Homo-oligomer: A and B are copies of this chain.
Amino acid sequence: MSDDIGAFVPGQRFRIAGRAGGPLAGLSFAAKDLFDVAGHPTGGGNPDWARVNPVPDRHAWAVETLLDAGADLIGKTVTDEVSLGILGENPFDGTPTNPRAPGHVPGGSSSGSAAAVAAGLCDSALGTDTGGSVRVPASFCGLYGIRPTHGRLDLSGMMQQAPTSDTTGWFARDAATFARVSAVLLGEAIPDALPRHLLVAEDAFAFVEPGTASTLRPLVDKLARLIGDAGEAVLAPPGLAAWHRAQTTLQPHEAWQTFAEWIERANPRFQFSVARNLVIGSQIPAAELAQAALVREEARGHLRRLLPEGTIMCLPTTPFPAPRCGQPLTATTALRARIICLCAHGGLTGVPHVTIPGATVDGNPVGLSIIGARGSDALLVAVARALANG
């Protein structure tokens, strides 16, 4: 249980005991530094956020819910700056080590939460997922992770980024812990019944690196056997690139609106890539926003039709395992775009999304994702648990 992987925000390793006798008694968790913990600054991964925002006097809803359920909070974890990042490289708080793939990025923006769980420093950890920030680090660190149905959980005390896409998610190393924590945060028992139909996202599997597609194949086959009925379908009829474009039009615009007042007051420090995305977010023409909103509307309708109750779809969580740390800006920008192609449906449509570990490429983890109808979060967790037990 080495603590020197840089998963925790410097000075934010502590312990707040959970309520005795709750359903999560005996479990520990960490919270991404976007969640309020009473008496601790919410840093947001940026040196100039806490400088102009007060120390919170109450816990975020998700933190309070886990404490109430008996889990112990052990600290606050590193995040990409104000959650704007997908690789987990933060020059201010440092880049957490990926315990499953040293020398490779942990994924972000919930980088420290994923790294802490992967390293065994805690049983679970809270993250946020706006454009992939739980799914991607879960994939890169070999963890279970969930982006719940948008709008389902109470986000109070969680730092916003792009409200029409923001969610609270969480990680675990094993399916049983994942199910226990999920039941508490979803407020719903994880069912035994499973979906009846599986769709394999043919466009998503075609999009990823061949080695990633092939390493996931046994997990897909196992999932198909578990569900019984399996077929193929297209996740994004206009193209994953078109959905990428819509999401990377809407999300940066909203992020700019979220942070503009703070930027006006504080002229904050950012790594160049983060500042650039904010500037681009401030420049998006209204016509582009309107077009992206149309694409979003159509995507929602498509997934309503494609994923009725009882049907789930599987896809690779990321197009490849964790890239190497410290690559040049052009390379990381291109990697980020490819990653977002597989995540954009989440922000656009709000469907729940669970990522499941179990495959590797050259020893580095990569996850298999399942998505379902809005509100089917517990069913997806049930699939993940059944797959682990099968």
Contact = CB atoms under 8 A, between A and B. Distances in A.
Interface in A258-303: 263-265, 267-273, 275-276, 278-280
Q: Copies per complex?
A: 2
- Contact residues of A: prevailing secondary structure: helix
21 contacts: A89-B267, A91-B269, A92-B269, A263-B272, A264-B330, A265-B328, A265-B329, A267-B273, A267-B329, A267-B332, A268-B272, A269-B269, A269-B270, A269-B271, A269-B272, A270-B272, A272-B275, A275-B275, A275-B279, A276-B279, A279-B279
Nearest to A261: B328
Interface in A12-40: none
A48 interface: yes
Contact of A267 (B92, B272, B279): B272
Contacts of A48: 91
A285 to B, nearest CB: 14
B270 A270 contact: yes
A330 B280 CA distance: 17
Task: List the 5 closest A-B pairs by CB distance, nearest first.
Answer: A275-B275, A279-B279, A264-B329, A264-B328, A267-B329
B267 A275 contact: no
Interface in A304-334: 328-330, 332
Contacts of A273: 267
A275 B264 contact: no
A219 to B, nearest CB: 34
Contact of A272 (B92, B278, B330): B278
Nearest to A332: B267
Contact of A271 (B267, B280, B329): B267
Contacts of A92: 269
Contacts of A272: 263, 267-270, 275, 278
